[in-house]
Amino acid sequence: MRILVAGGAGFIGSHLCDALLDRGAEVICIDNLITGQAENIAHLRAHPRFQFVQADICSSLPITGPLDRIYHLASPASPPGYLRRPLETALVNSLGTYRLLELARATGARFLLASTSEAYGDPLVHPQPEDYWGNVNPIGVRSCYDEGKRFAEALTMVYVREYGVDARIVRIFNCYGPRSDPNDGRLIPNFVTQALTGQPLTVYGEGTQTRSLCYVSDLVDGLVRAIETPGTTGRVYNLGNPDERSVLEFAQLIKQITGSPSEIVFQPLARDDDPRRRCPDISRARAELGWEPRVSLDEGLTRTIAWFRERLGLGNQSPGSDSTGHGQ
Ligand code: UDP
């Protein structure tokens, strides 16, 4: 199988490339490296079935030959990441999605759009099922991303309905694990880095807002199932771990696992439109994809902390491709 992974040098994309190579595929990774990192795929550069193309899919798509699958994960995804690059974010989700869907139409490849739990905005229904339409501020600071993804979903469905493209959509809830960017400002990279370096853990607001965190190997398993399972054309699936915790609980747990003496400090909410609660209803993915997250929060955090320790030059635990524990 010949597979294109757009955004393949990102945190999730690079783990997906690993998993697809493990399954015997030929993998072409395209990434403009504005938030993806060359070091995430450095271990794959010499792989005979791996090819890296550095390009911005909005301006050029230098991919030739047949394709069997296209995974579209190309977009800044952390709030600080997309708030720094709002135009690139809006464009890659609109124009970039259009270009990849055209490529799927021309090659007959199956297509997967990586959408987001942010499509639900600050949800008024809890937990969120796929048929909830969301509560999104269309002109808020996050709208380059959440409305960008909602447009990408709409465009994907146009190609399914009008052109018979074999596409599906997954809405990814917060994901964590090795290779998440220590500087991207998200909850886990921030708290783990702060705990390991003796800085205070910065809880925004009162820390009562909730998130549900999915370990990266579970998420990648869900992506592959969503594209490979028959009958998924035109379907949308939540992929996330329903183990919902408050932000303060995450801080306490990370302090406990790292044994860090760092204190927890409360700071004003750093961003507008910070969702108060977020938890996926994954009944559909369970029933239709046979998918279930398997890595517990304790286990996932322990592996992630080991990777960060190494990345920050603080220890000798083995980092990199097998630290997900799934041989990716
Ligand atoms: N957060 C926090 N301290 C940090 C980073 C994030 O309290 O140092 C909070 C943030 O306000 C949000 C939650 O953690 O409520 C998750 O933030 P993240 O940036 O990981 O992603 P989001 O789920 O908002 O897209």
Q: Which residues pair with 293 in a beta bridge?
A: none
293, 282, 216, 209: which is closest to 251 by C-alpha? 209
Is the full-model pTM beyond 0.85? yes
Distance of CA 320 to the CA centre of its chain: 18
Q: pLDDT tens digit string along 269-286?
A: 877 788 899 999 999 999
35, 186, 272: which to mutate for ligand 1, most atoms within 8 A of CB?
A: 186
Q: What is the per-residue pLDDT across 113-132, written as a single tens digit (0 to 9) for each?
A: 999 999 999 999 999 999 99
Integer-rounded Cα Rg, in Å, for the chain is 19
- Residue 314's pLDDT is 87
Query: Catalytic site residues?
Result: 145
Domain extent listing, the chain: 2-175+215-239
Contacts of residue 36, Cβ cutoff 8 Å, sequence gap at least 6 = 7, 8, 9, 10, 13, 14
CA distance 141 to 124: 19
Q: Which residues of the chain have pLDDT under 70?
A: 316-328
Ligand 1 pocket, CB under 6 A: 78-79, 174, 186-187, 190, 202-204, 209, 211, 247, 270, 274
- Say what the pLDDT of residue 216 is: 98
Identify the pLDDT of residue 318.
Answer: 38
CB-based contact 226:168 (threshold 8 Å)? yes
pLDDT, position 322: 39
The correct CATH number of 2-175+215-239 out of 3.40.50.300, 3.40.50.720, 3.90.550.10, 1.10.357.10 is: 3.40.50.720
The confidence score (pLDDT) of residue 321 equals: 38
CA angle 230, 233, 238 (to 5 degrees): 95
